[in-house]
Amino acid sequence: MAETLTQEQIANVLLGIKIPPQPQILVDLQIEQIMPDPDIKRIASLIRRDVGLAGTVLKVVNSSFYGLSNKITSVDQAVSLIGLDSVINIINGVSIKSEMSDETITHMNRFWDTANDIALIATNIAKMVGFQKPDLAYLLGLFHNSGVPLLMNKFDNYLGVLEQSYGNNSQRIIDIENDLLNTNHAVVGYYIAKSWNLPKVLCEAIAEHHNCERHFLGKHQTDSDVKTLLAILKLAEHVCGSFKILGNQDIDFEWELIGSDVLTHLGLGEYDVELLEASIEEMGISFKNYAF
């Protein structure tokens, strides 16, 4: 993060917000991941213990993103195909859902579907620009707004606050949230990611994803994985229509401010964006399909 918060500040930020614990299955998988020779059979066995998780892994592998000619029906095959890093990314997204009430999950179904779409788009962009860590781009896309459902669970008016935040073109989205709620979804998402021992670069990108001006418009810009991840995320959010889905807005004010600098950093032009939008339509992803 840009600044280090004191324990007292952290306590105030998270007052009344329960940070979900790291699921035991994720702990077990991470232990297996750091082994010199990870055991794919054990990893698949861990996943099979959770029917919902196994089904989700198979659903992702059989999605249009992978474009397989034959349907995968075995968890073992799925894990071998997508690799351990991608498996853990999927589990992160599923596990945060498990901490929500049934009512919240019902209201947020489209939110989670959209997060998955952004994650897939971010991965495509990462590969397009030659970013060497596409799994981090996937996880950032999936996880960057994880603070939203937690705040929605705490504040009955949170969706209204989000709309107001996205509709203000003179302040950052997180500034409006801070003014009205004394916290914001970026900082909550940061502490979720940190409490789950996710990579530092990912935690920083989550914390900074509505503070991009300083990375792209500031006087002392430096290239870093965080900056590139933020650029990938902002482009993915823009083409997926986050400003419409979360903010109920017709204009992406964030993109208007930093969009050209994001594309310059990624080495892309408007024609590349058009090609990306076309490929997204072919994948069946369209923000027109989402509405709260």
Position 149 scores a pLDDT of 80
Q: Per residue in 78-109, pLDDT tens?
A: 888 877 777 776 776 666 666 656 666 655 66
Residue 4 has pLDDT above 90, yes or no: no
Please choose, from the candidates 32, 66, 64, 62, the residue with its C-alpha nearest in 3D space to the C-alpha of residue 47: 32
- Are 50 and 25 contacting, i.e. CB atoms less than 8 angstroms apart? yes
Q: Per residue in 134-164, pLDDT tens?
A: 888 988 888 898 888 888 878 889 989 999 9
Question: Cα 11 from chain centroid?
Answer: 24
List Cβ<8 Å contacts ≥24 apart for 279-285.
Answer: 279/124, 280/121, 280/239, 280/240, 283/64, 283/65, 283/120, 284/64, 285/117, 285/120, 285/121, 285/240
Token pair recorded at residue 192:
């979720």
Position 232 scores a pLDDT of 97
Least confident of 58-67, 157-166, 203-212: 58-67
- The Cα 97–Cα 57 span in angstroms is 15
Domains of the chain: 7-20+101-289 (1.10.3210.10), 21-98 (no CATH)
Q: Taking each helix axis from N to C terminus, what angle separates 51-61 and 75-98, rounded to the nearest 10 degrees?
A: 120
Question: Is 125 or 221 the better-scoring residue by pLDDT?
Answer: 125
Question: Is 195 or 15 the better-scoring residue by pLDDT?
Answer: 195
Average pLDDT, the chain: 80
